[in-house]
């Protein structure tokens, strides 16, 4: 199967994943340094999901993201300048400093928000897909959500209606094994969230969420199925959060073992991708390093842009409550 993927696509996915990783590592450091206010939920470890799904979408297609949403925005084309500025609470941010990490979005890229409410995204993605079908605009909506959100009633209602109306939507479950700090085994009686698909009359597919190529292949089928009018898919990606629920610290935590973290880190999605790129001679080690170096420079430029940007004017406090 993997031979069907062009080198350009592999390079594209790798670039998106590296961009997420380096952005997140720096954002986390800035939060710990007290430069970024509030709470950051970092996407490190889960890059293969956003990377593997988003290469199938155009800027016109919509997504709903989660509280762990920076990775989705980056993979869909978000610019570091405006992202860092938003995290810094500056007026030049994507949301003019009104949203912050948990609501970062860019409507021009079809991003209907990160969402501070676990399970906030599925009804909105379903609604966007309903709108797409009504408007016959051939767009697809993709809903990212976690194993934790799969227990929310909102997911059930959205999935039921998506199945009923055969909507052009893909539900991508990023099963990272934890609902906030609670292991999956302690929050649901099933191992595979994909099992729930049967209850909504849609296919449930499970993939290795650390392998961007596996995600790419499964997501391609699901997006095609949605776009061709055949209805939704529940795509479960088994992945892992290298950092804590909030912030950077990933090891020495009370609710999971370091051994478990180390085991997953051996399957770091970016390492796996880079091994593949080298093995298939798609990129050389130097070229891979260049991707990291260029991205690091962009991160630094983004930080500089954010730090030099003004805070929102006091007059903007109650602006944009209404259209």
Interaction between residue 122 and other proteins (CB under 8 A): yes
Interaction between residue 126 and other proteins (CB under 8 A): yes
DSSP assigned state of 256: S
When the beta carbons of 96 and 276 are compared against other proteins, the nearer one is 96
Binding mask 200-229 for other proteins (x = CB under 8 A): ------------------------------
Q: Strand 182-183 relative to strand 178-179: parallel, antiparallel, unpaired?
A: antiparallel
Retrieve residue 184's tokens. 């999956």
Residue from 33, 135, 281, 314 in contact with other proteins (CB under 8 A):
135
How many other β-carbons are positioned within 10 Å of the β-carbon of residue 37?
A: 12
Q: What are phi and psi of 22, to 5 degrees?
A: -75, -35
The nearest distance, CB 195 to other proteins, in angstroms, is: 21
CA atoms within 13 A on the CB side of 111: 27
The nearest distance, CB 209 to other proteins, in angstroms, is: 25
Report the C-alpha gap between 15 and 137 in whole angstroms. Answer: 29
Interaction between residue 323 and other proteins (CB under 8 A): yes
Binding mask 75-104 for other proteins (x = CB under 8 A): ------------------xxxxxxx---x-
DSSP assigned state of 258: H
When the beta carbons of 71 and 93 are compared against other proteins, the nearer one is 93
Write out the DSSP string of 271-283: HHHHHHHHHTTSS
When the beta carbons of 65 and 295 are compared against other proteins, the nearer one is 65
Residue from 37, 58, 117, 191 in contact with other proteins (CB under 8 A):
117
Interaction between residue 267 and other proteins (CB under 8 A): no
For 145, counting Cβ atoms within 10 Å of its Cβ (0-12 exposed, 13-18 middle, 19+ buried), the class is: buried
Give bridge partners of residue 179 from the DSSP assignment.
182
The nearest distance, CB 137 to other proteins, in angstroms, is: 8
When the beta carbons of 79 and 221 are compared against other proteins, the nearer one is 79
The nearest distance, CB 135 to other proteins, in angstroms, is: 6
Residue located via tokens 């050389």: 284
Q: Can you point out the beta strands (E) in 184-318? A: 204-208, 233-238
Site for other proteins in 36-75 (CB under 8 A): 62, 64
Those residues with Cβ within 8 angstroms of residue 239's Cβ, 6 or more apart along the chain or in another chain: 45, 46, 48, 49, 174, 175, 176, 209, 210, 269
Kindly indicate which of the ranges 51-59, 106-114, 206-214, 232-240 contains the residues binding other proteins, using the contact rule CB under 8 A. 106-114
Interaction between residue 302 and other proteins (CB under 8 A): no
Give CA torsion, residues 34, 37, 43, 44, to 10 deg: 0
When the beta carbons of 200 and 243 are compared against other proteins, the nearer one is 200
Interaction between residue 153 and other proteins (CB under 8 A): yes
Residue located via tokens 């950092």: 243
The nearest distance, CB 211 to other proteins, in angstroms, is: 30
> Which parts of this chain interact with other proteins (CB under 8 A)?
62, 64, 93-99, 103, 105-108, 112-113, 115-117, 120, 122-132, 134-135, 137, 139, 141, 153-154, 157-158, 160-161, 164-165, 319-323
């Amino acid at each position: 199967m993997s031979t069907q993927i062009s080198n350009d696509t592999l390079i594209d996915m790798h670039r998106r994943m590296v961009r997420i990783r380096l952005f997140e590592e720096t954002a986390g450091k800035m939060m710990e340094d007290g430069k970024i206010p509030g709470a950051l939920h970092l996407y490190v470890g889960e890059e293969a999901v956003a990377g593997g799904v988003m290469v199938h979408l155009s800027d016109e297609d919509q997504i709903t993201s989660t509280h762990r949403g920076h990775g989705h925005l980056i993979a869909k084309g978000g610019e570091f300048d405006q992202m860092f500025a938003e995290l810094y609470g500056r007026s030049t941010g994507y949301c003019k400093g009104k949203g912050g990490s948990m609501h970062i979005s860019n409507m021009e890229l079809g991003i209907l928000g990160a969402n501070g409410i676990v399970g906030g995204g599925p009804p909105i993605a379903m609604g966007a897909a309903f709108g797409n079908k009504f408007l016959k605009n051939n767009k697809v909506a993709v809903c990212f959500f976690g194993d934790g959100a799969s227990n929310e009633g909102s997911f059930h209602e959205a999935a039921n209606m998506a199945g009923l109306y055969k909507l052009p939507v893909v539900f991508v479950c990023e099963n990272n094994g934890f609902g906030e700090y609670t292991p999956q085994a302690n929050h649901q009686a099933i191992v595979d969230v994909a099992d729930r698909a049967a209850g909504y009359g849609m296919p449930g597919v499970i993939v290795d969420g650390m392998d961007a190529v596996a995600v790419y292949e499964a997501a391609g089928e699901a997006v095609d199925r949605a776009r061709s009018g055949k209805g939704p898919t529940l795509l479960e990606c088994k992945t892992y959060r290298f950092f804590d629920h909030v912030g950077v610290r990933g090891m020495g935590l009370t609710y999971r073992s370091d051994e478990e973290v180390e085991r997953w880190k051996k399957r770091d999605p970016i390492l796996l991708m880079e091994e593949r790129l080298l093995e298939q001679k798609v990129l050389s080690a130097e070229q891979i390093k260049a991707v990291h170096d260029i991205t690091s420079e962009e991160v630094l430029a983004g930080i500089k842009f954010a730090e030099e940007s003004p805070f929102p004017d006091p007059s903007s406090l109650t602006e944009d409550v209404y259209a």
